[in-house]
Structure 1
C-alpha cells in the first residue's frame, strides 16, 4: 500500500533468504564524499554501501529467475531433443532490456515499493509487446507461447522474488539498519510528528538524525530525542556539511514560496533529496496532483469518490470474491460449526446489529466465540475494559470459550461475514463495522467512516487490530475513506493474509 500504512516487520521465525545486508548499515559518516561532474555539472552523491549491495542482489535474482523460467520453458515448448534457442534468447533479452529501460533497478525506484512494482509490471508488459512484434516481423507464429505463457510466467516469479527481498529489507530496517539519514526542518511540533512517524514506519527507511527549527537550539535542545543543530536560515549549510540524504521540510510559517525555492537551489549541489510535507498531512494517494497554473506549482486535492465506475467494480469484485471464498471455506466452516456445537451445545452463529453505510443498520453474522448470554454480563466487566475509546475489549475476556479463543486469534470467527458481503451490506475491504452505541459517541468528523460500507478487513486489520488506540483506529479508517482506490484494496487484502496467519493484535 502505498507503503504509507503501519509497518509490518516479519514476526520471529519467518523464513527469508539468507542475504547479508549488514555492509554499510551503521550510522553514516557525517562527511559527504562528492563525485564531481564534468563541465561544471552538479556533484552526485554516491550510493550508500547497503544500497549498492541491495541493488546487486535484486539484479542478480531477477536475472537468475528469468534464466530459470525461460530455460524450463525452452524445454517444455521445444519438446524432447529440440531447443528453441532464438526465441529463448530473444525473450530473455527483451525482459532484461525492458527492466533496464524502465529503470526497474534504479536505487530510488527500489526505495519506493509502489513505484518498484509499477515499473516491474510495465517492464514485463513492454517485454511481451517486443517479443510479439519481433515474432510478427520475423513471420514466426510459434512466438505466441513465449508472449502469452513465458513472459507471464516470468512475472509470476519476479513479483514474489521482489517481495521477498523487500521483506528482508524491512526486517533489516526494523533492526535499525539500511536507513537513510534525514534532516528535518520546520516547526518543532510538526517535526516531532514526522520523527514519530519515521520510527513507527521503519520500513520506509528514514532515520531523522538532526533537526533545524526557526529558533534553533535556543528554545529546543532536541525534538523527540533528535538534536536540534541549527536554525532554518542555515539549513542548506548544515546539509552540505552533514551529508544527509533527505531533507524533510515540515509546515512552518517561515517557509514562504521564495524561501523554499531558494532552499531547492541551495541543495542542488549537495545531492540531497528535498521532500516537502503538505499541510494536508492525512490526504494522499490518487487525490493529490501537482500541476502548473499561471507559472505556479499547485497541489490539487480532488474530492473523495463515493460512487462511479470504480465503485461499481469494487461492488462486483466484492460479491464475486465473497461467493468464491465461501465455496473455498465451506469445509472449514462446517468443521468450525461442529466444534462450536460440540463445545457447549449453544448456537453456532452470533447475530449482532451493526451500523453500515449512511448510518443504516444491518445484522452482522459471526461464529459465536463467547458463552451464551455474554452480552448480559458485559456491564459487570466494565472495570476490566481495555478497549480504546467507545470500544469494549478485554485481552483475557472470561466470556470467551476455548474454541472461541482459537477462532479469534486467526479471525476465523469472521468468516460468516462473507454472507454480509454477498448480500451487499458489507465490503471485503472497508472501515470496521461499528456498534450503534459506538456511533452515538462519535465526534462529527468520525461520522465520515459511515460514508462507505464497512469491511471484512481494512487498514485497522493490517495495522494491529485490537492493539491500536482509538485515535489511531479512527485515523486509519478516515484515511481509507478519503484516499480509497482499487490498488489500496488489493494491498490491504494482500497484507490481511499475513496479519491473519500471525494473529497479531487479535483478542
Structure 2
C-alpha cells in the first residue's frame, strides 16, 4: 500500500509539472512569412517596372523611346501580376521553401527567367511593341533585387527568432537519446525559432497500459507525457508542432492514428529520420508501394577536387592577390617596423589526404611565440586539440588589427595558387592535432583545406572543437559550387564584423 501511494504521488507530481510546462506561454500570433514575401516581391516588381521605364527614356540612344511610358502604363500591371503568379507557381512562397535559403533563391531566379520568357513570347505573338531596353532593364534589375529582398527578409526573421520572438512551440516525441539529439540541434540553431516545450516518451505497445514518464531526459528536456497522448497535450499546451523521432511509436499505424488525432488541432507533425548534417540536395523521399523511402545520394566531397573548383581557385585567387596587394604591402611594412623580425610566419599544416605543406601567414605574434606556448597551455581555451586564447599575450600590436580583419591570412592566397589549399574548405589542421583524430575527423582531409569555410563564417575561434569538426564534415559531404559562393560572401560579412577573431 505504501509503495502504491508513493507511485501515485510521483505520477501526480509529474502530471502537475507537465501541465505547468505546457501552459507556460501560449501560441503567439506570428507574421505570415509567405504574405510578407508576396508583399515585398510586389513592391520590388512595381518599383523595378517604374525604374526600368524611367531609365529607358533617359538612355542617350533611340530618342523616339518617349512612348515607352505610355506602353508600360498599359502592360506594366499584367506584367507584374504574371511575374508574381510565376513566383507562386514555382513554390517560392511555400513556407518550407522560404526557410531553405539557397533553394529559395534558386526558385526565385528560375521563376523570374521563365517570367521573362513568357513576357517576351506574349509580346511577340501579340505584336506588342515592347521596348527591348525596358524589357532587358526590368529583368536585369528585378532578378537580383528580388533575391536581395528575400535575403533581407529571411535575415530579419532569423534575427527576430534569435531574440526569442515568433517562437514555434514544439514537443519532441521519441526515446531519450533521439530527443536529446534533436534538442541539441534546435538549441544550437536558435535562428530556427523552435522553443522546446517538453518531451513525449514512447507510447505503449498496443494493448499495454499507458505509463507515466520520468522527469526529464539526460539532456534536460522535461517529459510532459507519452506519445499516445500527443493530441490532448498539444491542445492543452497550445503547441505548434510535434517532432516525431525514432522510437516514438511502436508501429506505423500508431503514428498514422496520432496524425489523424492531431489534424483537428492545427498542429504540424514533423518526422525526424536518423539523419543529421545532410544537405537537402542529397535527400529525396520516394514513395515505394506506400512506403516513403528516404534515398540518400552519395557524398559530394570528391567533386570538390574536379577542374571546376580548381579553375575557380586559380582565377579568383589570382584576382584577390592583385586586389589585396596594397593591403598586404601595408601589413608587411607594419610587421617589419614593429620588431624587425620576419614578415611571414611559416607553419606545417595537414593538407589533402594527410599530406603536409607549409602554410604562409603574416607574423602576428612575437618571434618566439611557439617556444612560449608551453607556458600558456594552462590558459588554453578550447576543449579539443586546438590551442586558442582570447587574450593571447604573444600577439603583437600590428598583429591584433591584422587578426581582427584576417589580413594575416592573405599570404595563403599563394598556397591556393600552388594547389596546396583552396579558397573554401575545411580548417587546415596542425600535425600535432592528427594524433587526436579518429576516423571521422580524418575525413575532413579528403579535400584541400581552405582559407575560409563553414567554420569561419559560423563563429571562427568562438567555436568548440566538436562544432569545428561537425561543420568541416558537413562541408566535405555536401560540397557544391553554390555553397562555396555563399561561404565567400558570408566570409566578407564575418571579417567586417570581426566575430570570433583573436
Measured against the shorter chain, the TM-score band is: 0.7 to 0.9
Where do 1:234-245 residues align within 5 Å?
234-245=229-240
Shift of 1:90: 4.8
Does 2:251 align with 1:256?
yes
1:224-239 alignment runs, 5 A limit: 226-239=221-234
Moved more, 380-389 or 494-503: 380-389
Distance 1:326 1:98 in 2: 42
The Cα of 1:334 is off from its aligned counterpart by 1.5
Which residue of the partner structure matches residue 12 of structure 1?
none
TM-score of the superposed pair, with normalisation by structure 1: 0.84
Distance 1:429 1:387 in 2: 23
CA positional deviation for 1:416? 1.2
Deviation string 1:167-198 (CA, Å, 9 cap, x unpaired) is: 22122111111111212101123212322322
| Equivalent in the alignment of 1:496 | 491
Query: 1:363 aligns to what SS in structure 2?
Result: strand
Summarize the Cα distance change of 1:97–1:279 in structure 2 as closer, same or farther, 3 Å threshold.
closer
Counterpart in the other structure of 1:7: none
Asked if 1 retains the 8 angstrom alpha-carbon contact of 2:362 and 2:408, the reply is: yes
**Which residue of the partner structure matches residue 42 of structure 1?**
none
Q: 1:230 to 1:209 in 2, by over 3 A?
A: same
Asked which structure has the greater CA Rg, the reply is 2
**Is the deviation greater in 73-82 or in 448-457?**
73-82
Give the equivalent residue in structure 1 for 2:195.
207
Shift of 1:115: 4.3
Change (3 A) 1:114 1:207: farther
Match of 2:262 among 267, 276, 291: 267
CA contact (8 A) 1:67 1:92 kept: yes
Under a length normalisation based on structure 2, what TM-score does the superposition of the two structures give? 0.85
Name the counterpart of 1:63: 42
Distance in structure 2 (CA, Å) of the matches to 1:398 and 1:309: 38
Q: Which residue of 1 aligns with 2:54?
A: 75
Q: Are 2:132 and 1:121 equivalent residues in the alignment?
A: no
Compare 268-277 and 448-457 and name the one that shifted more: 268-277
CA contact (8 A) 2:283 2:294 kept: yes
Larger helix fraction of residues: 2
Call closer, same or farther: CA 1:299–1:104 in 2, change over 3 Å: closer
Moved more, 202-211 or 105-114: 105-114
> SS at the partner of 2:37?
helix
Summarize deviations over 1:200-226 as a string: whole Å, max 9, x none.
212112112132113788442244555
Going from structure 1 to structure 2, the CA distance change for 1:108 and 1:472 (only over 3 Å counts) comes to closer
User: What's the counterpart of residue 9 of structure 2?
Assistant: none
The corresponding residue for 1:331 is: 326
1:14 paired residue number: none
Residue 180 (structure 2) pairs with residue 180 (structure 1): no
Distance in 2 between residues matched to 1:109 and 1:352, nearest whole Å: 44
| 397-406 or 79-88, larger mean C-alpha shift | 79-88
Partner SS, residue 196 of structure 1: helix
Cα distance change on mapping 1:285 and 1:485 into 2, 3 Å: farther
- Quickly say closer, same or farther: Cα 1:114–1:205, change in 2 above 3 A: farther
Q: Distance in 1 between matches of 2:501 and 2:422?
A: 20
Question: Which structure 2 residue ranges, 5 or more long, are not aligned?
Answer: 1-22, 204-209
Match of 2:30 among 50, 72, 79: 50
SS at 1:422's partner residue?
Answer: helix
What's the CA shift for 1:258? 3.3
The 3 A distance-change label for structure 1 pair 308 and 141 is farther
Give the distance between the partners of 1:111 and 1:250, measured in 2 at CA: 21
Q: How many residue pairs align between the two structures? A: 464
* Aligned ranges 1:85-484 → 2 under 5 Å: 85=72, 86=74, 88-139=76-127, 142-214=130-202, 218-223=212-217, 226-252=221-247, 254-308=249-303, 311-484=306-479
How far does residue 455 in structure 1 lie from its aligned partner after superposition? 0.9
Residue 420 (structure 1) shift: 1.3
Where structure 1 has 5 or more consecutive residues not aligned to the other structure, the ranges are: 1-25, 31-47
Report deviation, 1:148.
Answer: 3.4
Q: What SS is found at the alignment partner of 1:440?
A: helix
Q: Look up the match of 2:3.
A: none
Q: Is the 8 A contact 2:351 2:449 kept in 1?
A: yes
- Does the 8 Å contact 2:423/2:450 carry over to 1? yes
Which stretch has the larger CA shift, 475-484 or 400-409?
A: 475-484
Taking the aligned partners of 1:310 and 1:71, their CA distance within structure 2 comes to 46
Query: Partners in 1 of 2:149 and 2:294 — Cα distance?
Result: 36
Q: Quick one: distance in 2 between partners of 1:174 and 1:342?
A: 44
Deviation at 1:254, TM superposition (A): 4.3
Distance in 2, Cα, partners of 1:265 & 1:72: 51
Give per-residue Cα distances to partners, 1:284-342, cap 9 Å, x unaligned.
43322222334422222232134359843222222212122122212211221222222
SS in 2 for 1:380: helix
CA-CA distance at 1:145 after TM superposition: 3.1
